[in-house]
Every structure is written in structure tokens, then in C-alpha cells.
Amino acid sequence: MNSIDINNLTFKYGETAIVDRLSLNIREGSFISIIGPNGSGKSTLLKIIAKNLLPQEGVVLINGKEVSRYKAKDLAKEIGVVPQDTLVSYDFSVEDIVLMGRYPHLGKFQQNSLRDMEIAKEAMIKTNTWHLRERNINEISGGERQRVIIAKAIVQEPRIILLDEPTSSLDIHHQLEVLELLKNLNNKLGVTIVAVLHDMNLAARYSNEIILLNRGMLIASGKTQEVLTVDHLKRAYEMDMIIETNIYTGTLQVHPIAIKNRAKKNKSLRIHIVCGGGSGKELIQALYDGGYKLSVGVVNEGDSDWHIAKLYDIEVVEEVPFSEISPSSLEKAKLLADAADLIIMTDIPIGWGNIKNLEILREQLQDGKTVYYFKYPQDKKYDYTGGNGLEVLKNLKDMGLKGVDGIEKFLELLNKRG
Ligand SMILES: Nc1ncnc2c1ncn2[C@@H]1O[C@H](COP(=O)(O)OP(=O)(O)OP(=O)(O)O)[C@@H](O)[C@H]1O
């Protein structure tokens, strides 16, 4: 059964279609995020679902019944809304505001019962707002108010909660806390959660489905992995993105790649970059934007350095993740380093998997080539080989390895070379 069915919905301000012939279904019990660039119609869509705006065309069905046919009180039992703007026009206490969420469950002239008070207390504890209960709603911070309004939506005990950027004024700690809370409501009570989220990584982490909008139109909807693809995101955001799996959360992680200075100068200097694990992505970007000829390796296939090199068609030597650099990969990388005018290695931690990369540096130094290393001398925390890596680096330093303190400094050095 679907919680929400949207059929051929069009909403216009004047002649401009803000939601454009949109059709989609939101399954009961799903946790769905709506994402898309600014102005793509996300808030407008939520307002239409909540019956705060009337579409010119199409219908929204809530549990099979047209939203326009719901009485306000009945709709409030089905849908709780947490709007983007949580300012309240009257000076109520936090507790009064949260208790207002019980209104759809009260009869005419009926007062809140002890049970209603208990439900409100529980929601305030869950949203970490219990300590604010006696404060004036307009005299607490924006983030605190956002949590109070979420508490109010929870006490409504609706089957669906719509939230418009519920984490926008929250610090990272409260962002995760609120999203965990929503996930819990979704998992334990089967509440359907529909949240507009700007942060695609949070959307990927917490929701099981995503709706991607652009200019009022549906670009894609469905399972997170099916929607968050390079192609879909490029169509919506007009930007290249790297998408990888976050090794800590196991969920998708999107890295937008700035497309700046594309009409760039073409420098003749050729640079080989030894990096990995994401340590080289800003450097690759900066050198690419600077117009240098680049090669990269050896890096693990699939890591973000590898992705960005592939994205820009940079020659890259790759190795399967979690394995040592093979002799053939090492040979290929050495050839690229031979062809380069200079080499730079980032401050990537050195382990048994990538220690062979240091051989590339040694051979190039032996050949009299300039080789740079980020932030030399190295700290112990970068060594996972029981001191071997640092020892080799020390030898390389004696051979002429130069330390460079970050990308800006490196670009300055390159500029001086002309
Ligand atoms: N009252 C209004 N009158 C005219 N145009 C409006 C009105 N409200 C919103 N719009 C326009 O409708 C478009 C969609 O707005 P909406 O707030 O739905 O987008 P959004 O995807 O939620 O954006 P954001 O990510 O910036 O919050 C925007 O171009 C906006 O300027």
C-alpha cells in the first residue's frame, strides 16, 4: 500500500511551472529523502502534499484518499509537518507548542490528559528538548526550535512525517541525533518519513529511497543506489560527482567536483603524482585546473584519487584494493614517473600495501629528478610498517627529497619554474 500517491501534479506561480507533471508513489513505511538543487520545487512539493498549496493540475492521495478531501483534524492524524521556517507568531512555551501536537486527538473542548502530557514528555526527551519546556518558543535557538517542532510532529502520532530540511540549523551532533530518531520512528513504528535534505550524504545514510528533482521535474526516484548515480546527479546539479562507498558507514558518499577554470592554460610541465586514499584529490584538482600534464599511481582502484583521475582522463596506474602493489603496476608507474618532469608524493600513510611507491621516488632521485613530498618530515602516525616507511623516507631525504607544505606552496614553486 502506498502512503502517498502523486499523479501528474503541476503547480505554477504565474506562468512558471514549479512542479511539472510529477507522478510518484511513496510506499508506506519508507524513509524517503527529496533532494535537488535550490529552486527545484522540493518545498513546494511538500506543501502540496500537506495541503498548504493547491495544485492547478493533478492529485495527491494520502492512503488512497485525495488530500483535498481531508478535514484538517483528520489530515493531522495522518501527516505531521516540520516546515523549513519554524518561527511561531505567538509567545508560547515550548511545552505548549509540543502539546499542540495532541490537538487532532482531542475532542471539542477536551483538555490534555495525563497521557497526552506523558506522550509530550517522551517526545521532548527523545528530541532533547525536555530541559527547554518552560522557555518561550521564540527565545530559544533556531536549532532548538527545529527540535521542538519535530517533538510536536511526533506527539501528533501521525502515519507520515514530512520534514523540510529538518537538519539545516542543527550542529553535526544534533543532525545525526534527529536523523537517528527519525530512523527509529521509521523502523520501530513504521512511520513513513519524507524529508527534504540538502546533504546527499545524510540522505544516502539514513533514507532507503531518494527522489531527485530538478526544475520541478523528476530526474529519478527509487532505491538510494539507483538514484545516486553520476549521470543522474550531473543532470540535476550540472556538476561532476565522485560516488564511493563510505568505509565507516557502508553507505554511498558523494563528492562534488568543482568544475572551475576549465578553459585553462596548457602547461608543458609533466607531473607524476603518487597518492592514494583521497590524499591526492585536491592536489590533482588544483594541478588539473592549473593546466599541468599529469599522471597518477600507483593508487587503489575505486578510491577517490582514482575516481578523480579517471574523471579527468588522467593516466593512472591502479591496483586492486587491499593488495600489495604488483611488479607490473610498479613498472607502469615507474615509466610514467620517467616521462614526468617532476614527481610529488602526498602525505598518504605508508603501509605494506603501498610502500613500494617509495621505490619510484628513490629511482627518480637517483636519476637526478626533482621529487617533492608533502609536509616532510613525516610523523610516526603516517607509518604502518613499524618504522620501515619512515626509515626509507629519511634515506630519500638524504638523497635530495624536498618537503613542501601543502598545495598552495607547491603551486608557488611550480609558478617560479614557469
Ligand atoms: N510565493 C512564491 N511566488 C513566486 N515564486 C515562488 C514562491 N515561492 C517559491 N517560488 C519559486 O518556486 C521555485 C521552487 O521553490 P521551492 O522553495 O519549492 O524550491 P526548493 O527546491 O525547496 O528550493 P531550496 O533548495 O532553495 O529550498 C523557486 O524558483 C522559487 O523562487
In short, whether 389's Cβ falls inside 6 Å of ligand 1 is no
The pLDDT assigned to 258 comes to 62
Architecture of domain 2-223: 3-Layer(aba) Sandwich (3.40)
Is residue 43 lining ligand 1, measured as CB closer than 6 Å?
Answer: yes
Ligand 1: which of 19, 33, 42 to mutate, most ligand atoms within 8 Å of CB? 42
For 107-125, how does the pLDDT look when each residue is reduced to its tens digit (9 = 90+)?
777 788 889 999 999 999 9
Q: How high is the pLDDT of residue 342?
A: 96
Tracing cell 567536483 back to the chain, one arrives at 257
Q: How far is the CA of 342 from the centre of ligand 1 (A)?
A: 50
Residue 261 reports pLDDT greater than 50 = no
Question: Domain coordinates of the chain in residue numbers?
Answer: 2-223, 270-416
User: Average pLDDT, whole number, for the chain?
Assistant: 90
Question: Is residue 197 within 6 Å of ligand 1 at its C-beta?
Answer: no
Residue 414 Cβ < 6 Å to ligand 1: no
Could you check whether 2-223 and 270-416 share the same CATH topology?
yes
pLDDT for 148 equals 93
CA-44 nearest atom, ligand 1: 18
First to last CA, the chain: 66
Ligand 1 centre to CA of 161 (Å) is 21
Distance, in Å, from the CA atom of 246 to the CA atom of 248, rounded to the nearest integer, reads 6
Cell of 218: 523528476
Question: For position 312, what pLDDT does the model report?
Answer: 82
User: What is the C-alpha to C-alpha distance for residues 206 and 166, in angstroms, rounded to an integer?
Assistant: 13
Q: What pLDDT score was predicted for residue 257? A: 77
pLDDT at 377: 54
Does residue 156 have its Cβ closer than 6 Å to ligand 1?
no
CA of 97 to the centre of ligand 1 (A): 27
295 — pLDDT class (breaks 50, 70, 90)? very high
β pairing state of 2-13 and 192-196: unpaired
Q: What residues contact residue 165 under an 8 Å CB cut-off, 6+ apart?
A: 84, 196, 197, 198
Atom of ligand 1 nearest to the CA of 45: 18
Q: Which residue CA neighbors atom 31 of ligand 1 most closely?
A: 39
d(CA 152, CA 127) in angstroms, rounded, equals 10
> Is the minimum distance from the CB of 354 to ligand 1 under 6 angstroms?
no
* 270-416 is classed CATH 3.40.50.450: yes
pLDDT of residue 365: 96
At a CB cut-off of 8 Å and minimum separation 6, what does 397 contact? 376, 377, 403
Residue nearest to atom 1 of ligand 1 (CA): 13
* Model pLDDT for residues 73-90, shown as the tens digit of each residue: 999 999 999 998 777 778
Summarize pLDDT for 391-403 with one digit per residue, the tens.
Answer: 999 999 999 999 9
pLDDT of residue 235: 87
